Amino acid sequence: MTERVNCVFCDIVAGKAKAYKIYEDALSMCILDIHPYTKGHCLVISKRHVPWWHELTDEENASLFKVAKIVSNKMMKTFKPDFIFLYARGRRIPHTHLFLIPTYHGDVLDRFFNALENFQEAPQMLAKLKTPEEMEEAMQLLKS
């Protein structure tokens, strides 16, 4: 595993920093976030220091999302949220991590994404992105 100097997640993986470990396998680890949005908010981190999830090996990616699924199922059983919000990060702390957040109707994330979806559906600038021509162009660009 590649360790990065001054990386809190590398320190956690190496056992040099305290963490509330929930689950781990050979390539990934799930810990409680120390600044939670809701009770049970977790981070799934790669054990190897890689800033972006799409730069992980296929095996590391499979591990990351397998651990996320295992812990999400535990969250659903334990906290009974409406859903588990998942998103990938690596910008502020440049080490791949997935946020797993139990989310409930009307909470801050539910309100945020409802507002974002309303924004996404409303403005003309964004409406242009979903014309058949724009969709076809985006598809072709991503396929090539």
Q: Where are the domains of the chain?
A: 1-104, 105-144
Token couple for 41 = 């908010």
Encoded tokens for 5: 């100097």
Q: What is the pLDDT of residues 54-92, one digit of tens each?
A: 999 999 999 999 999 999 999 999 999 999 999 887 778
Domain 1-104 sits in CATH at 3.30.428.10
Rounded Cα gap, residues 37 and 40, in angstroms: 9
Q: Which residues pair with 45 in a beta bridge?
A: 29, 97
Q: What pLDDT was estimated at residue 63?
A: 97
Helix or strand run (H / E) with residue 101: strand 97-103
Q: Please compute the mean of the pLDDT values over residues 33-46 and round it to a whole number.
A: 93
Tokens at 104, concatenated: 């409930």
Put simply, whether the predicted model's pTM sits higher than 0.85 gets the answer no
**Token pair in block for residue 17:** 């920093």
Which of 35, 54, 97, 105 does the annotation list as catalytic? 97
Per the annotation, the verdict on 105 as an active-site residue is: no
